[in-house]
Amino acid sequence: MPGNDAYQHDVLVIGGGGAGLRAAIAAAEESGRLSIAVLSKVYPMRSHTVSAEGGTAAVMRENDSLDMHAKDTIFGSDFLADQDVVEAFVKEAPGEVIQLEHWGCPWSRDPDGRVSVRPFGGMTVNRTLYAADKTGFHMLHALFQTSLKYDKIVRYDEWFATSLLVEDGRVCGVVALNVHDGTVRAITAKAVIICTGGAGRIFSFTTNAAIKTGDGMALAYRAGAPLKDMEFMQYHPTGLPGTGILITEASRGEGGHLKNKDGYRYLQDYGLGPPTDKPVHRKMELGPRDILSRCHIQEHQKGRTFEGPYGHYVHLDLRHLGEKLIDKNLPFVRELVKDYVGIDPVYEPIPVRPVIHYTMGGISTDIDAKTRLEGLYAAGEAACVSMNGANRLGSNSLTELLVFGARAGRAAARHALERPAVSSNPVAHLVSDERKRLDTRFLRADGRERIADIRDEMRKAMEDGCGIYREKATMAQTCDTLRRLRERFGRIGLMDRDAVFNTELIAALELECMLDVAAAVAHSALAREESRGAHTRTDFPKRDDARFLKHSLAYRTPDGPRVEYLPVTITRWPPEERKY
Amino acid sequence: MREETITLEVTRYRPGHDSEPRTESFAVPYQKDWVVLDALNHIKDQLDGTLTYRWSCRMGVCGSCGMMVNGVPKLTCSAFLRDYYPGPIRVEPLANFPVIRDLVVSLDDFMEKLRRVKPWLIRAVEKPVSEGEYRQTPAQLEDYKQFSMCINCMLCYAACPVYGLAPAFVGPAAIALAYRYNMDSRDEGYKLREPILSESVGVWECTFVGECSVVCPKGVDPAAAIQRSKVAGAKDWAMAMLMPWGGRR
């Protein structure tokens, strides 16, 4: 019940993936006096961090330096990363990955017992720690299992946050639906941290889990916080056709080759060559993801890709690596390809195509994970602290969720320690409003529009207008389509009216979030008249620093997103042309 | 031309409406590269929006979509329709768990047991992060690696006849994870976990049917963890009986 102590906390984390759990532990360690809660629409160990494969970057060796990691990240970002943020990130990264080691993460090891490092796309030296090719899985379970030792971390497993509680411009908790019994409650907190991950599910072909529907982004956006750099959706060059299942970049780091239908390593034709037997940092298959994804499309336009039931694809060839290496460092790749494509990568090349992988934009935060709304913080893929800019380097995201998850947890804890408790009277009123909204819009509505139809059309519109190559006319059409889908969503009808575990209601709420986030992506993309990183326009093929060396900020308005801009912070690396 | 279909016989149960679970049949398009989960998603999107189940990653690692498929615990995201052709395919909630609705079972019991076995690294003195990593050789990593692969999908509990009869049994996944930490060269928590594992509902409850290891989709061998924990526990007991100082190491 509202006002009941059980639903009052000092710090409330929404999302129990890598960033959320890291934030919760950081808050718990910041002060013994705080009550901390983690609310997640799934059990935390089911979060999408579990699917990350390749590794997590940090400067660990003598041949590396913080400046080198910073420069690679900034260069990879196409100079859209905030350089003060990147500097803080690379500095805190080694401590965070070692902390995780102390919490039991089974990092792969060198013979002398040190944690191993492997090459990754866009990086100049080996700096990616890994746990075979199940890095995210091991990190998430290590974090989750470690979180169990903190008694004061309370969990709301399988609860869905439907709106933020905002009073006098201050965020003071959420209204959330308990999926198990359908009750709606206010959960108050002096500080709220959103760690709900990205929004890859607004596209048809994605490596993202079903749960990645941008819920947290939409929560903040509706409450008035802007979404930053949403036009930058990253394609990963090697997903399985059809399912979109990720074949990790580590398979190229270990020496895998991309080949067209003639068996030719085509990347050499796009300024990434010459081909070598051993992988070379930042060359050929170890180029950054945005460039490799564009090469794929151009190769397709030249008629040199394969055609399959799910469209065009190329080959990722691991055969020359040998069974022993594949089993040691890429066992999950072998398992996935055997299970889902029915071939063994030891003997046959893997069909791959670019698929949506990562949302570089997100809730705009400062370097301490603070948003524009008092009391609201965000970290991980849901946030945009501006370290990935226009293109994230592989293996920086797992480190990002550690570094900025911890920063968010500490900042929110300090904020909570300074604040009085939230008063419960206005909160009760907000809860009954939200209950009414859910009932009238969904559970008692008699609309005829189906979730699946609107969802499919939204995804198609995003693929059509906001894919690897973009242009004004198709993007404008996508914006229009999204507007019409939003109207149709108002006439949605559910078959399921039950209180207990109503997953159709959850799907409707998720779709509502996706429609908001998709609109922010499409409008931000339409407004950016240049090509930078993952945002490539055929009508504006050059990067335009004079007009667009700045972050976009999308604000929600009743007439659709309003796009404003924010300068990029440059400290020591002046923008230069990005060549590999 | 008519589309080829395959029939799914799905268990339905709505609390407050149904006194008993019932079975409902759905014909779905037969697609060779579809998994059972794709068929369930087809039903939910096109035929019956009230069908209730969990899923997320669709790549066999999040552990959400475990169900009984033709009586065998399976991750439905990796159970291909083609392996059950021409059907019908029986889809039921995981055995041995209370059903919340349709194909969704309650994990409350497991979540409690997981915490009880203290699945985290325990050290007498924690080394400061500034001093770097704990060194661990590849061979030491290998000692526990297999047991760290558990995705908490609960298939092993659904296959465990002991858990079915004695729900207090700590069970395969939780014991495998306790064993994983016990075997980790960085860990010093054996003595703290041992009492939980050796109590009456701990490892001794297991009659070594070994089904847990058979159904594990990740190649974890919980049965081995249980047997080896028994050996370790027995050794401790014998030491305590024989040695004047109680076998304290």
pLDDT (tens digit, 9 = 90+) per residue, B197-210? Answer: 887 566 777 876 78
Single-letter amino acid code for the residue at A39 = L
The shortest CB-CB distance from B57 to any of A50, A138, A498 is to A50
Of residues A236, A315, A459, A532, which has the active-site annotation? A236
> Quick check: helix, strand or coil at residue B246?
coil
What are A449's strand-pairing partners? A492
Asked if A471 contacts A537 with a C-beta cutoff of 8 angstroms, the reply is yes
Distance from CA of B27 to the nearest CA of A (A): 18
Cα A305 to Cα A313: distance, rounded to the nearest angstrom: 6
**CB-defined contacts A:B, below 8 A:** 157
B/e letters for B54-92, b = 16+ CB within 10 Å, e = fewer, are bbbbbbbbbbbbbbbbbebbbbbbbbbbeebeebebbbb
Q: How far is B92 from chain A (nearest CA, A)?
A: 17
Check residue B200 and give its pLDDT: 58
- How many whole angstroms separate alpha carbon B148 and alpha carbon B178? 10
Burial string for B3-40 (b: 16+ CB within 10 Å, else e) reads: eeebbbebbbbbeeeeeeeeeeebebebbeebbbbbbb
- Average pLDDT value for residue range A531-546: 98
Instruction: Give Cα A9 distance to the centre of its chain.
Output: 27
- The residues with which B29 forms a beta bridge, in sequence order, are B5
Find tokens 């991750």 and name the residue.
B75
Q: Taking the CA atoms of chain B, what radius of gyration do you get in angstroms?
A: 22
Mean pLDDT, chain A, rounded, equals 96
Whether B49 contacts chain A with CB within 8 A: yes
Bridge partner residues of A193 (DSSP) = A13, A377
- Which pLDDT belongs to residue B213? 94
CB A572 within 8 A of CB A83: yes
Q: How confident is the model over A215-242, as a mean pLDDT?
A: 97
Per DSSP, the three-state class of B37 is helix
Q: How many beta carbons lie within 10 A of that of residue B248, not counting itself? A: 9
Report d(CA A49, CA A401) in Å as an integer.
Answer: 9
Instruction: Name the DSSP letter for residue A420.
Output: P
* Shortest distance, CA A293 to any CA of chain B (angstroms): 22
Q: Is the pLDDT assigned to residue B244 strictly greater than 60?
A: no
What Å distances lie between residue A223 and A189, A363, A442, CA to CA?
16, 11, 21
Q: What is the pLDDT of residues A388-443, one digit of tens each?
A: 999 999 999 999 999 999 999 999 999 999 998 877 667 788 899 999 999 999 99
Q: How far apart are the first and last CA of chain A?
A: 58
Nearest-CA neighbor of B40 among A339, A116, A193, A210? A210
List pLDDT tens digits, range A285-298: 999 999 999 999 99
DSSP state of A370: B
Q: What gap in Å lies between CA A402 and CA A21, rounded to an integer?
A: 9
pLDDT, tens only, A337-358: 998 999 999 999 999 999 999 9
Question: Mean pLDDT across the stretch A490-516?
Answer: 97
Asked whether A198 and A358 are in contact (CB, 8 A), the reply is yes
Phi-psi category of residue B205: left, alpha or beta, with phi > 0 → left and psi -120 to 50 → alpha: alpha
CB–CB contact A145 B120 (8 Å): yes
B68-84 mean pLDDT: 97
> Is A236 among the residues known to form the active site?
yes
B154-183: burial string, b at 16+ Cβ within 10 Å, e else: bbbbbbbebbeeeeebbbbbbbbbbbbbbb
**pLDDT tens-digit profile of A465-490?**
999 999 999 999 999 999 999 999 99
Q: Quick one: tokens of A81? A: 């990363």
CA dihedral over A538, A544, A550, A555, signed as positive or negative: negative
CA atoms within 13 A on the CB side of A124: 16
Assess whether pLDDT exceeds 60 at residue B249: no
Residues of A in contact with B150 (CB under 8 A): 141
How far apart (Å, rounded) are the C-alpha atoms in residues A430 and A174?
Answer: 10
pTM score, whole prediction: 0.96
For residue B152, is pLDDT > 60? yes
Section B23-44 average pLDDT: 97
Q: Give the number of other Cβ atoms within 10 Å of residue A65's Cβ.
A: 13
User: How far does chain B reach from its first CA to its final CA, in angstroms?
Assistant: 75
Is A252 part of the annotated catalytic residue set?
yes
Give the model's pLDDT for residue B239.
Answer: 60
Asked whether this complex has an ipTM greater than 0.90, the answer is yes
Quickly count: other Cβ atoms within 10 Å of residue B119's Cβ: 26
Q: Check pLDDT > 50 for residue A2.
A: no
Under an 8 A CB cutoff, do B61 and A134 touch?
yes
Residue with tokens 């400290």: A571
User: A257 near A285, Cβ under 8 Å?
Assistant: yes
Contacts of B151 in chain A (CB under 8 A): 45, 50, 137
Residue A463, classified by CB atoms within 10 Å of its CB into exposed (0-12), middle (13-18) or buried (19+), is: middle
Give the containing element (helix H, strand E) for B73.
Answer: strand B72-75
Sign of CA dihedral A95, A101, A105, A111: positive
- Residue A169 dihedral angles phi and psi, to the nearest 5°: 75, 5
Interface test with B, best of A503, A504, A506, A511 (most B CBs within 10 A): A503
**Interchain CB contact of B82 with A (< 8 Å):** no
The SS3 assignment for B116 reads helix
3-class state of residue A140 by DSSP: helix
| Chain A touched by B12 (CB under 8 Å) | no
Distance between CA atoms of residues A2 and A430, nearest Å: 10
